Amino acid sequence: NNYYIRNFSDFRDRILDEIETNDDVLDIGKCMREKFEKIKSKTLITLDVNDFGDYPDIIFDICDNLDNSLYESYDKIICIALLEHVYDPFRAVSNLKKMLKKDGIIYGYVPYLFYYHAPSDLKFQDYFRFSKDALSYLFRDFNDLEIFPVRGRVSTPLNILFAGRWKKYIEKTK
């Protein structure tokens, strides 16, 4: 589905539009960034492997054994630019599925052609890149999967060649 390439839409805006006020929402890594405060839901919980002081609500490695209290807890899980940073994406996706309520939705995003982007302090690492085939396999136990490319043939190589500058100055000004 080429919706995002044609419409230049911020994926986070679509998520905001689809979250309902009676939803229990989990934002892993506080990946909604500046749009986090705009989420209007019954509950909004953050999860991260690191303690950043003001967040997360739950400190947990998504690749570890899942605590029973987290089973079937969330209507919506937001997991943007996270799976490339976990050492066991199969376990992480399995845990995400277990955390979802029946008919819940996971909103995710992963880079494919993208530069290495772990921080110098290595609070997290950068392990994987996923093709659409890999994503289809990772999420094979889900009822429905929609895959949207975010960048096109011109934007992708420019994003790699000019790393953060392309994304910060050009791509966001459309």
What pLDDT is attached to residue 149? Answer: 74
The DSSP-derived string for 46-62 is: EEESS--SS--SEE--T
What pLDDT is attached to residue 157? Answer: 73
What pLDDT is attached to residue 6? Answer: 58
The string of pLDDT tens digits covering residues 146-165 is: 887 766 666 677 777 776 66
What pLDDT is attached to residue 174? Answer: 45
Whole-model pTM? 0.86
Task: Please identify every stretch of the chain with a pLDDT value under 50, giving residue numbers as ranges.
Answer: 173-174
Cβ contacts of residue 146 below 8 Å, gap of 6+? 1
The residue among 39, 74, 42, 75 whose CA lies nearest residue 58 is 74
The Cα-based distances of 156 to 6, 73, 135, 147 in angstroms read 15, 36, 19, 17
Question: CA-CA distance, 147 to 69, in Å (whole number)?
Answer: 30
